[in-house]
Structure 1
Amino acid sequence: MNLLETYIFGRIFRMFVASLVPVLAIIWITQVLGRINLVTDSGQSIGSFALLATYMLPMLIPVVMPFAVAIGVTQTMQTMNTDSELAVVDAAGASRSTLYKPPLVLAVILCAVSFSVDNFLEPVSRHGMRQTIAATYADLLSSVIEEKTFRKIDDGLYVQISERVQGRVLRGLFVADSRDPNFDMVYYAREGAVDEKGGTLVMKDGEIHRKRKDGEVSVIHFDSYSFDLSDLSAARGQATLKATDRDIFFLLDPDPNDEYYKERPNDFRAELHRRLTDWFFPVTFALISLMMTGAAHSHREQRLNPLIGSLFIAFVYRWIAFYLANRVENGVGEPWPLYAFLIATNALMIVAIWRSATHLGRRSLVPGLVDRSLALYGRIAAPRGGKEGAR
Structure 2
Amino acid sequence: MRSCASDLACPPRRAKRARAGAAPEPPLSPSLTRYVLREMLKPFGFFILVFTGVIWLTQSLQVIDQVVETGQGAAVFLEFSALLLPFVMSIVLPIAAFGATLYAVNKLFSESEIVAMLASGMSMLALARPAAIFGAGVTAALFAVTLWLTPTAAQTLRDRLQELRGDIANALIFEGRFVHPSEGLTIYVRDNLASGEMRGVFVHDRRDPRAETTYAARRAVLGREEGGLRMVMFEGVAQRSETGAALSVLRFETLVFDLEQFMRDAAQRTPRPRERNVLELIAPTAEQLGGYSLGRFYAEGHEHLSGPLYALALPLVAVAALLSAGFSRRGYAARIFLAVGVGVALRLTGLAMRSATAAEPSLWPTMYAPPILGAAAALAILAHGGVRWRARRPAAAGAGAGGAA
Corresponding residue for residue 352 of structure 1: 381
**Deviation of residue 332 (structure 1)?**
6.8
User: Equivalent residue of 2:380, what SS?
Assistant: helix
Q: Is 1:223 paired with 2:279?
A: no
1:119-130 matches, cutoff 5 A = 119-130=147-158
- Give 1:188's aligned amino acid: A
User: Equivalent residue of 1:297, what SS?
Assistant: coil
Q: Is 1:185 paired with 2:213?
A: yes
Contact 1:201-1:226 within 8 A present in 2 as well? yes
Corresponding residue for residue 164 of structure 1: 192
Q: CA deviation digits over 1:282-326, x for unaligned, max 9?
A: 11101210121124322237x643333222221221111011112
What is the distance in 2 between the residues matched to 1:352 and 1:110? 23
**Deviation of residue 143 (structure 1)?**
2.1
Q: CA deviation digits over 1:21-45, x for unaligned, max 9?
A: 2211222233224422344222223
Q: CA deviation digits over 1:142-175, x for unaligned, max 9?
A: 4256423333455554322221224653222122
1:1-391 matches, cutoff 5 A = 2-144=30-172, 146-153=174-181, 156-166=184-194, 169-196=197-224, 199-214=229-244, 216-238=246-268, 240-258=270-288, 260-295=289-324, 296-300=326-330, 304-331=333-360, 334-356=363-385, 361-362=387-388, 368=389
User: Equivalent residue of 1:35, what SS?
Assistant: helix
What is the distance in 2 between the residues matched to 1:24 and 1:337? 28
User: Equivalent residue of 2:236, what SS?
Assistant: strand
What is the distance in 2 between the residues matched to 1:167 and 1:110? 56
5+ residue gaps, structure 2, are 1-28, 393-405
Contact 2:282-2:301 within 8 A present in 1 as well? yes
Structure 1 residues 183 and 68 mapped into 2: Cα distance closer, same or farther (>3 Å)?
A: closer
What is the distance in 2 between the residues matched to 1:321 and 1:195? 54
- Give 1:114's aligned amino acid: L
Contact 2:172-2:189 within 8 A present in 1 as well? no
**Deviation of residue 262 (structure 1)?**
4.3
What is the distance in 2 between the residues matched to 1:181 and 1:54? 36
Greater RCO, CA 8 A, separation 6+: 2
Contact 2:295-2:359 within 8 A present in 1 as well? yes
5+ residue gaps, structure 1, are 363-367, 373-391
User: Equivalent residue of 1:116, what SS?
Assistant: helix
Contact 1:9-1:103 within 8 A present in 2 as well? yes
Q: CA deviation digits over 1:116-164, x for unaligned, max 9?
A: 1110111111111111111111122542564233334555543222212
- Give 2:354's aligned amino acid: A
- Give 1:103's aligned amino acid: A
TM-score normalised according to structure 1 size: 0.83
User: Equivalent residue of 1:335, what SS?
Assistant: helix
Structure 1 residues 331 and 261 mapped into 2: Cα distance closer, same or farther (>3 Å)?
A: farther
Structure 1 residues 198 and 80 mapped into 2: Cα distance closer, same or farther (>3 Å)?
A: farther
Corresponding residue for residue 397 of structure 2: none
Greater alpha carbon shift after TM alignment, 56-65 vs 29-38: 29-38
Aligned length: 361
Greater alpha carbon shift after TM alignment, 115-124 vs 234-243: 234-243
**Deviation of residue 107 (structure 1)?**
0.5
User: Equivalent residue of 2:286, what SS?
Assistant: coil
What is the distance in 2 between the residues matched to 1:216 and 1:324? 55
Contact 1:198-1:233 within 8 A present in 2 as well? no
Contact 2:70-2:181 within 8 A present in 1 as well? no
Greater alpha carbon shift after TM alignment, 127-136 vs 103-112: 127-136
Structure 1 residues 198 and 70 mapped into 2: Cα distance closer, same or farther (>3 Å)?
A: farther
Q: CA deviation digits over 1:7-56, x for unaligned, max 9?
A: 11110111222222221122223322442234422222322222211111
Superposed CA RMSD: 2.7
% identical aligned pairs: 22
Q: CA deviation digits over 1:48-93, x for unaligned, max 9?
A: 2222111111111121111111111111111111112222111112
Structure 1 residues 41 and 349 mapped into 2: Cα distance closer, same or farther (>3 Å)?
A: same
Structure 1 residues 111 and 97 mapped into 2: Cα distance closer, same or farther (>3 Å)?
A: same
